[in-house]
A and B are shown apart, each in its own frame.
Chain A
Protein backbone atom coordinates (compact mmCIF):
# COMPACT_ATOMS: atom_id res chain seq x y z
CA UNK A 1 0.00 0.00 0.00
CA UNK A 2 1.13 3.52 -0.75
CA UNK A 3 1.21 6.53 1.52
CA UNK A 4 3.22 4.76 4.20
CA UNK A 5 3.60 6.25 7.61
CA UNK A 6 6.80 8.20 7.78
CA UNK A 7 8.17 10.88 10.01
CA UNK A 8 5.40 13.42 10.54
CA UNK A 9 2.89 11.36 8.56
CA UNK A 10 -0.11 9.29 9.50
CA UNK A 11 -0.39 5.53 9.95
CA UNK A 12 -3.24 5.42 7.47
CA UNK A 13 -1.97 3.88 4.24
CA UNK A 14 -3.61 4.07 0.84
CA UNK A 15 -3.45 2.85 -2.73
CA UNK A 16 -4.76 6.03 -4.32
CA UNK A 17 -1.74 6.54 -6.56
CA UNK A 18 -1.93 2.99 -7.91
CA UNK A 19 -5.69 3.23 -8.36
CA UNK A 20 -5.40 6.54 -10.19
CA UNK A 21 -3.05 5.01 -12.73
CA UNK A 22 -5.19 1.89 -12.98
CA UNK A 23 -8.21 4.08 -13.68
CA UNK A 24 -7.13 5.61 -16.97
CA UNK A 25 -4.35 7.67 -15.40
CA UNK A 26 -6.80 9.83 -13.48
CA UNK A 27 -5.07 13.05 -12.41
CA UNK A 28 -5.01 14.32 -8.84
CA UNK A 29 -7.08 17.27 -10.00
CA UNK A 30 -9.75 15.02 -11.50
CA UNK A 31 -9.95 12.96 -8.33
CA UNK A 32 -10.08 16.14 -6.25
CA UNK A 33 -13.02 17.41 -8.29
CA UNK A 34 -14.81 14.09 -8.01
CA UNK A 35 -14.60 13.99 -4.23
CA UNK A 36 -14.95 17.78 -3.81
CA UNK A 37 -11.68 18.65 -2.11
CA UNK A 38 -8.60 20.61 -3.20
CA UNK A 39 -5.84 18.95 -5.21
CA UNK A 40 -3.47 19.73 -2.34
CA UNK A 41 -5.59 17.58 -0.04
CA UNK A 42 -5.33 14.65 -2.45
CA UNK A 43 -1.55 15.23 -2.58
CA UNK A 44 -1.38 15.18 1.23
CA UNK A 45 -3.49 12.01 1.49
CA UNK A 46 -1.47 10.21 -1.22
CA UNK A 47 1.78 11.05 0.54
CA UNK A 48 0.41 9.79 3.85
CA UNK A 49 0.70 13.25 5.41
CA UNK A 50 -2.99 13.66 6.06
CA UNK A 51 -5.54 11.07 7.20
CA UNK A 52 -8.92 11.88 5.65
CA UNK A 53 -12.16 11.76 7.58
CA UNK A 54 -14.20 8.59 7.24
CA UNK A 55 -16.66 10.39 4.98
CA UNK A 56 -13.94 11.58 2.59
CA UNK A 57 -12.35 8.11 2.64
CA UNK A 58 -15.68 6.63 1.56
CA UNK A 59 -16.04 9.25 -1.19
CA UNK A 60 -12.54 8.45 -2.51
CA UNK A 61 -13.26 4.71 -2.48
CA UNK A 62 -16.56 5.37 -4.26
CA UNK A 63 -14.73 7.44 -6.91
CA UNK A 64 -12.70 4.33 -7.77
CA UNK A 65 -15.65 1.96 -7.41
CA UNK A 66 -13.87 0.13 -4.59
CA UNK A 67 -14.58 -0.83 -1.01
CA UNK A 68 -12.94 1.44 1.55
CA UNK A 69 -10.68 -1.38 2.74
CA UNK A 70 -9.29 -1.77 -0.77
CA UNK A 71 -8.19 1.87 -0.79
CA UNK A 72 -7.21 2.54 2.80
CA UNK A 73 -5.37 0.52 5.39
CA UNK A 74 -3.85 1.01 8.82
CA UNK A 75 -0.24 0.42 9.69
CA UNK A 76 -0.21 -1.10 13.16
CA UNK A 77 2.58 -0.19 15.55
CA UNK A 78 2.95 -3.85 16.62
Chain B
Protein backbone atom coordinates (compact mmCIF):
# COMPACT_ATOMS: atom_id res chain seq x y z
CA UNK B 1 0.00 0.00 0.00
CA UNK B 2 1.55 3.23 -1.09
CA UNK B 3 -1.28 5.70 -1.26
CA UNK B 4 -0.73 9.28 -0.23
CA UNK B 5 -3.62 9.42 2.20
CA UNK B 6 -6.94 7.83 2.99
CA UNK B 7 -7.93 5.27 5.55
CA UNK B 8 -9.18 6.07 9.02
CA UNK B 9 -6.82 5.68 11.97
CA UNK B 10 -7.66 3.29 14.77
CA UNK B 11 -8.31 6.24 17.08
CA UNK B 12 -10.55 7.91 14.49
CA UNK B 13 -12.64 4.75 14.21
CA UNK B 14 -12.80 4.59 17.99
CA UNK B 15 -13.94 8.22 18.22
CA UNK B 16 -16.68 7.61 15.65
CA UNK B 17 -17.79 4.53 17.57
CA UNK B 18 -17.92 6.48 20.82
CA UNK B 19 -20.11 9.19 19.27
CA UNK B 20 -22.48 6.54 17.89
CA UNK B 21 -22.54 4.81 21.30
CA UNK B 22 -23.30 8.09 23.09
CA UNK B 23 -26.11 8.95 20.66
CA UNK B 24 -27.56 5.44 20.83
CA UNK B 25 -27.65 5.35 24.62
CA UNK B 26 -27.89 8.88 25.99
CA UNK B 27 -30.19 10.06 23.17
CA UNK B 28 -33.11 7.81 24.15
CA UNK B 29 -32.24 8.18 27.86
CA UNK B 30 -32.44 11.97 27.64
CA UNK B 31 -35.73 11.81 25.74
CA UNK B 32 -37.15 9.46 28.39
CA UNK B 33 -35.96 11.69 31.26
CA UNK B 34 -37.51 14.74 29.60
CA UNK B 35 -40.93 13.07 29.79
CA UNK B 36 -40.72 13.53 33.56
CA UNK B 37 -37.54 15.32 34.64
CA UNK B 38 -38.67 15.42 38.28
CA UNK B 39 -38.76 11.64 38.75
CA UNK B 40 -35.69 10.38 40.66
CA UNK B 41 -36.39 6.77 39.71
CA UNK B 42 -36.63 7.66 36.02
CA UNK B 43 -33.40 9.66 36.27
CA UNK B 44 -31.55 6.84 38.02
CA UNK B 45 -32.70 4.18 35.54
CA UNK B 46 -32.02 6.38 32.51
CA UNK B 47 -28.59 7.67 33.46
CA UNK B 48 -27.25 4.46 34.96
CA UNK B 49 -28.70 2.42 32.10
CA UNK B 50 -27.21 4.76 29.50
CA UNK B 51 -23.81 4.71 31.23
CA UNK B 52 -23.73 0.92 31.33
CA UNK B 53 -24.92 0.83 27.72
CA UNK B 54 -22.28 3.23 26.47
CA UNK B 55 -19.53 1.25 28.23
CA UNK B 56 -20.77 -1.99 26.65
CA UNK B 57 -21.01 -0.45 23.16
CA UNK B 58 -17.60 1.22 23.55
CA UNK B 59 -15.99 -2.13 24.36
CA UNK B 60 -17.65 -3.58 21.26
CA UNK B 61 -16.57 -0.74 18.98
CA UNK B 62 -13.05 -0.91 20.41
CA UNK B 63 -12.81 -4.60 19.48
CA UNK B 64 -14.29 -3.88 16.04
CA UNK B 65 -11.88 -0.99 15.43
CA UNK B 66 -8.87 -3.10 16.43
CA UNK B 67 -9.99 -5.81 13.98
CA UNK B 68 -10.46 -3.26 11.17
CA UNK B 69 -7.12 -1.53 11.81
CA UNK B 70 -4.89 -4.27 13.23
CA UNK B 71 -1.62 -2.84 11.95
CA UNK B 72 -2.09 0.60 13.41
CA UNK B 73 -0.57 1.54 16.75
CA UNK B 74 -0.78 4.65 18.88
CA UNK B 75 2.12 7.00 18.29
CA UNK B 76 3.18 10.54 19.17
CA UNK B 77 0.70 12.12 16.73
CA UNK B 78 -2.20 10.17 18.26
CA UNK B 79 -1.19 11.33 21.73
CA UNK B 80 -0.94 14.95 20.57
CA UNK B 81 -4.38 14.80 18.94
CA UNK B 82 -5.88 13.31 22.12
CA UNK B 83 -4.30 16.06 24.22
CA UNK B 84 -5.55 18.82 21.94
CA UNK B 85 -9.05 17.35 21.88
CA UNK B 86 -9.25 17.45 25.68
CA UNK B 87 -9.06 21.26 25.73
CA UNK B 88 -12.49 22.12 24.22
CA UNK B 89 -14.03 19.29 26.21
CA UNK B 90 -12.64 20.84 29.40
CA UNK B 91 -14.21 24.18 28.48
CA UNK B 92 -17.64 22.53 28.11
CA UNK B 93 -17.26 20.83 31.50
CA UNK B 94 -16.09 24.07 33.11
CA UNK B 95 -19.07 26.02 31.81
CA UNK B 96 -21.42 23.23 32.94
CA UNK B 97 -19.92 23.24 36.44
CA UNK B 98 -20.38 27.00 36.74
CA UNK B 99 -23.96 26.84 35.40
CA UNK B 100 -24.76 23.96 37.78
CA UNK B 101 -23.34 25.89 40.74
CA UNK B 102 -25.31 29.01 39.82
CA UNK B 103 -28.35 26.79 39.25
CA UNK B 104 -28.14 25.31 42.74
CA UNK B 105 -27.88 28.77 44.28
CA UNK B 106 -30.77 30.04 42.12
CA UNK B 107 -32.83 27.05 43.23
CA UNK B 108 -32.51 28.09 46.86
CA UNK B 109 -33.67 31.61 46.04
CA UNK B 110 -36.52 30.23 43.93
CA UNK B 111 -37.65 27.79 46.61
CA UNK B 112 -37.52 30.54 49.26
CA UNK B 113 -39.58 32.77 46.96
CA UNK B 114 -42.10 29.99 46.36
CA UNK B 115 -41.33 29.68 42.65
CA UNK B 116 -42.19 26.25 41.29
CA UNK B 117 -40.55 25.60 37.90
CA UNK B 118 -38.67 22.74 36.25
CA UNK B 119 -35.34 24.42 36.89
CA UNK B 120 -36.08 24.75 40.61
CA UNK B 121 -36.28 20.99 41.01
CA UNK B 122 -33.46 19.32 42.97
CA UNK B 123 -32.69 16.99 40.06
CA UNK B 124 -31.96 19.83 37.64
CA UNK B 125 -28.21 20.14 38.44
CA UNK B 126 -27.84 16.36 38.15
CA UNK B 127 -29.48 16.35 34.72
CA UNK B 128 -27.39 19.32 33.65
CA UNK B 129 -24.12 17.71 34.74
CA UNK B 130 -25.00 14.39 33.09
CA UNK B 131 -25.89 16.04 29.79
CA UNK B 132 -22.74 18.19 30.03
CA UNK B 133 -20.56 15.11 30.49
CA UNK B 134 -22.06 13.58 27.36
CA UNK B 135 -21.72 16.83 25.37
CA UNK B 136 -18.11 17.23 26.55
CA UNK B 137 -17.27 13.67 25.48
CA UNK B 138 -18.90 14.26 22.09
CA UNK B 139 -16.99 17.52 21.65
CA UNK B 140 -13.76 15.68 22.47
CA UNK B 141 -14.48 12.86 20.03
CA UNK B 142 -15.57 15.37 17.38
CA UNK B 143 -12.32 17.23 17.85
CA UNK B 144 -10.35 13.98 17.50
CA UNK B 145 -12.15 13.13 14.25
CA UNK B 146 -11.61 16.67 12.90
CA UNK B 147 -7.89 16.47 13.70
CA UNK B 148 -7.51 13.17 11.86
CA UNK B 149 -9.53 14.52 8.92
CA UNK B 150 -7.19 17.49 8.44
CA UNK B 151 -4.22 15.20 9.00
CA UNK B 152 -2.63 16.68 12.11
Q: Which residues does A use to contact B, with CB under 8 Å? A: 8-10, 25, 27-29, 36-41, 43-44, 46-47, 49-50, 52-53, 56
Classify the interface of chain A: helix, strand, loop or mixed: loop
Binary CB contact string for chain B from 53 to 89 against chain A (1 if under 8 A, 0 otherwise): 0000000000000000001111111100000000000
B77 touches A50 (CB 8 A): yes
Nearest residue (CB) in A for B151 is A49
- Docked complex Cα distance between A8 and B7 (Å): 20
B71 touches A47 (CB 8 A): no
Given contacts A27-B1, A53-B76, 19 further A-B contacts (CB under 8 A): A8-B152, A29-B2, A36-B73, A37-B76, A38-B72, A38-B74, A38-B77, A40-B7, A40-B9, A41-B76, A43-B5, A43-B151, A46-B4, A47-B5, A49-B150, A49-B151, A50-B77, A56-B75, A56-B76
Residues of A within 8 A of B124 (CB): none
Say which residue of A25, A28, A39, A44 sits within 8 Å of B152 (CB atoms).
A44
Q: Which residues does B use to contact A, with CB under 8 Å? A: 1-5, 7, 9-10, 71-78, 148, 150-152
Residues of B within 8 A of A9 (CB): 152
A39 touches B1 (CB 8 A): yes
Residues of A within 8 A of B9 (CB): 38, 40
Q: How far is the CB of B151 from chain A (nearest CB, A)?
A: 4
**Given known contacts A28-B2, A29-B1, is B151 in contact with A38 (CB within 8 Å)?**
no
- Docked complex Cα distance between A35 and B118 (Å): 57
**Given known contacts A49-B151, A49-B152, A50-B151, is B4 in contact with A38 (CB within 8 Å)?**
no
Residues of B within 8 A of A49 (CB): 150-152
Residues of A within 8 A of B76 (CB): 37, 41, 52-53, 56
Residues of A within 8 A of B7 (CB): 39-40
- Docked complex Cα distance between A62 and B148 (Å): 27
